[in-house]
Amino acid sequence: MAEAVEEKKKSAWKVLALALTNRKTGFMLLFGFASGLPFALFLGTLFAWLTEAEVDLETMGIFSLIGLAYAFQFLWSPLIDKVNIPILRKLGRRKQWIVPMQVLLGIILVTMSVLEPRTQLGWFSLLAGIGAFASATQDIAINAWRIDVADERATIDILSTVYQMGYRLSSLVGGALGLVIAARIGWPETYALMGAILLAVGFVGLWAPNAKEEAADIASESELQVRALRMAGELAPSVRNRALVLVGLLWAGAIGVVMTFMIMSLTYAPEDRPNPTEFTINVGPWIIVATIILPALIAGWLASKKRRGEHLLAQDMEPATGGSFALDHLYRALVLPLVEFVGRMGWSLVLILAVVLTYRICDAIWGTFAYPFYLGELEYTNDDVAFASKFFGVGAIIAGLALGGLLLTTIGRMATLLIGGVLAALTNLLYADMAIGGANMQAFSDFVGFTYLIEQVPGIGDAALAKLTITIAFENLAIGVAGAAYVAWLSSIVSKKFSAVQYALLSSLTLLVGTLGRGALGEMIENQGYFDVFILTTWIGLGAAVLVCFEWYRESRGRKAAGIVAPEAGEPVPAK
């Protein structure tokens, strides 16, 4: 028995070594960096530049609208999943979107560097908006590329971990380091430098590998999927078309609402513009309901019809031409990804959605209130928080990701998901202690010698900073482990045939609870204080860990039923 355990450990380390030396892993780190850098530059560092340029706060509020591109990127994910770009299709199914977006982002950043934000604000805001759209588009394609190229050597677990490492490194480069560079060489030069980096990434990305099973032409793959829809045993066209009309109306309505909001925000007088925060909180959840929840219910209805053999074709049929042919392609792009996922998961989808909605809830909600807690409640300075959260904190997250990657390889995905969930929940207790003075965290920092270490930091180092830094470090370490496991798990349950749409839809749900919960949590902070909030989020996090245990059991049963006895390999697990 001991020999078997030892052999398993050796095998896990061998898998890890093979993954880290695989060229796919190197490109994943590069793509992760390219994914995070625009986000940091458009939704963080840019506001520092605008502040120095003396752009008023009302106008800067318009720039927050570009964040909608990231929040609702799933709305155009079917386009990324199934459409070829002329000429660029030769790059590969995902690279035909990734590389051009990276080049476009590089050009936009370089162009912004030659503009004056105060006097050329119109062009400046237009470029930032296009850049956010391009950045969100490359995120969809990069997430799909990660899922598509994963194999037994470059596993989905390691690729997901490395992706997040690159993402976190870019947030440090585009955020804290960007501020440092700008203070020395100026903002135009800083953005030109960042643009040059993305142009270089786009050039190097030309050599990124494609999936082995990838079709040479997506159009051919689409044609095969449409033909399969019209074979014996599949749903009749009339049934599919009714579902397509319903889903199409829901998606068209959601897109129309977002476009109307954008037009009103950009063209109306400042006093008449809609509030972006209120739109996200009040309308955002309904967009999720219209584009994900209701279509999922429709997909479940279709899957049940197919399982019961109702409304099925009696014989093979060739794909229709004209209108029916177009409808079949629309169905394949918009509805079929949901039908496949719901049909494969069955009632297990309820458990999966419960995990998706709760696992990252503490992290999703907490981000909004972190700085008010550090600066307002605890009365730390900007320099203190920058050191603890931006420099030391990012390092802790990367360390957590590395630990998460190691655990994924050695003990498995679900065990790591559980450990990460429990650790992330328990770190809320550290913040609860900070909310009532932080005596325990201070005593621990003194005991392990961390206080002495931080006191050596020139200018700001003292015992109080050590207490904050070690608290943030533990939280970020846990977030790193949980994040590595969560992205790996989410990537493993989607189908490679529909990876862009399915992953975009599921990941968007992660933002839903954060959007819904911020208002209620803010009110609770006002009425009861931070301590009670941290106790509540601890219990919520532990509840998510219990759900993970049920999901672990479900996947184990699924593997046994499918005759799979090998460790998790990052492929979708059949549901029962």
478 and 369 in a single domain? The answer is yes
Regarding whether 429 and 321 lie in a shared domain, the answer is no
Q: Are residues 178 and 280 in the same domain?
A: no
User: Residue 220: what pLDDT?
Assistant: 57
Q: Provide the pLDDT for residue 515.
A: 60
Q: Which H or E run includes 340?
A: helix 336-345
Q: Is 135 helix (H, G, I), strand (E, B) or coil?
A: helix
Q: Is residue 240 part of a domain?
A: yes
- Say whether both 34 and 132 belong to one domain: yes
d(CA 574, CA 576): 7
Q: Are residues 205 and 315 in the same domain?
A: no
Other C-beta atoms lying within 10 Å of the C-beta of residue 373: 19
Chosen domain end from 180, 214, 248: 214
CATH number (domain holding residue 56):
1.20.1250.20
More confident residue, 302 or 325: 302
221 falls within a domain? no
Rounded average pLDDT over 268-289: 74
Q: 573 by DSSP, 3-state: which? A: coil
The closest of 432, 443, 459 to 451, measured between CA atoms, is 443
pLDDT at 533 over 60: yes
> What are the CA-CA distances from residue 516 to residues 70, 203, 282, 358, 540 (Å)?
17, 40, 8, 12, 15
Contact between residue 492 and residue 573 where contact means Cβ atoms under 8 Å apart: yes
Q: Is residue 12 part of a domain?
A: no
Last residue of a domain, one of 161, 189, 214: 214
> CA of 32: how far to CAs of 108, 139, 348, 516, in Å?
19, 9, 31, 28
Percent of the chain whose pLDDT exceeds 90: 27
Stretch 442-464: mean pLDDT, rounded? 88
Q: Could you tell me if 323 and 365 lie in one domain?
A: no
The token duo for 222 is: 């689409």
Residue 213 has pLDDT above 50, yes or no: yes
How far is CA 280 from its chain centroid?
17
Query: pLDDT-based confidence at 2, cuts 50/70/90?
Result: very low
Domain that holds residue 549: 351-561
> Per-residue pLDDT for 19 more than 80?
no
pLDDT at 504 over 60: yes
Q: Is residue 15 part of a domain?
A: no
Is there a single domain that holds both residue 402 and residue 522?
A: yes
pLDDT of residue 368: 64
Write down the mean pLDDT value for the chain. Answer: 81
Higher pLDDT, 184 or 574: 184
Q: Is the pTM of this model over 0.85?
A: no
pLDDT at 5: 43
Domain boundary (334, 362, 378) is at 334
- Half-sphere CA count of 326, side-chain side, radius 13 A: 3
Do residues 293 and 363 both lie within one domain? no
38 versus 270: which is more confidently predicted? 38
Residue at 556 is within a domain: yes
Other Cβ atoms within 10 Å of 3 Cβ, number = 7
Q: Is residue 399 part of a domain?
A: yes
Does 286 map to a domain?
A: yes
Least confident of 13-27, 158-172, 475-489: 13-27
The domain total for the chain is 3
More confident residue, 138 or 327: 138
SS3 553: helix
Decide if pLDDT at 200 tops 90.
Answer: yes
| CA distance linking residue 56 with residue 68, whole number of Å | 21
192 and 234 co-located in one domain: no
pLDDT digits (tens, 9 = 90+) for 340-390: 888 888 888 889 988 988 888 777 666 667 777 888 888 888 788 888 887
Q: Using 50, 70 and 90 to split pLDDT, how confident is the model at 56?
A: low
Backbone angles phi, psi at 314, to 5 degrees: -85, -20
Q: Is the pLDDT confidence value at 509 over 90?
A: no
The answer on pLDDT for 571 being more than 50 is no
- The answer on 495 and 402 residing in a single domain is yes
What are all long-range contacts of 503-508, with beta carbons under 8 Å and residues at least 24 apart?
Answer: 503/143, 503/144, 503/147, 504/73, 504/74, 504/77, 504/140, 504/143, 505/74, 505/77, 505/291, 505/292, 505/337, 505/338, 506/356, 507/74, 507/143, 508/71, 508/72, 508/73, 508/74, 508/288, 508/292
Q: How far is CA 547 from CA 258, 421, 476, in A?
A: 33, 10, 22
Task: Kindly indicate the confidence band of residue 277, based on its pLDDT and cuts at 50, 70 and 90.
Answer: low
Element spanning 214, H or E: none
Closest CA to 299 of 239, 237, 355, 358: 239
**One domain, residues 205 and 262:** no
List, for residues 86-95, the tens digit of each pLDDT value: 888 888 888 9
User: Does residue 256 sit in the same domain as residue 316?
Assistant: yes
Express each pLDDT in 511-522 by its tens digit. 666 666 666 677
Give pLDDT, residue 4.
45
In this prediction, what percent of the chain has a pLDDT beyond 70? 81
> pLDDT higher for 195 or 121?
195
Q: Is residue 576 domain-resident? A: no
Residue with more model confidence, 439 or 461:
439
Q: How far apart are CA 64 and CA 265, in angstroms?
A: 11
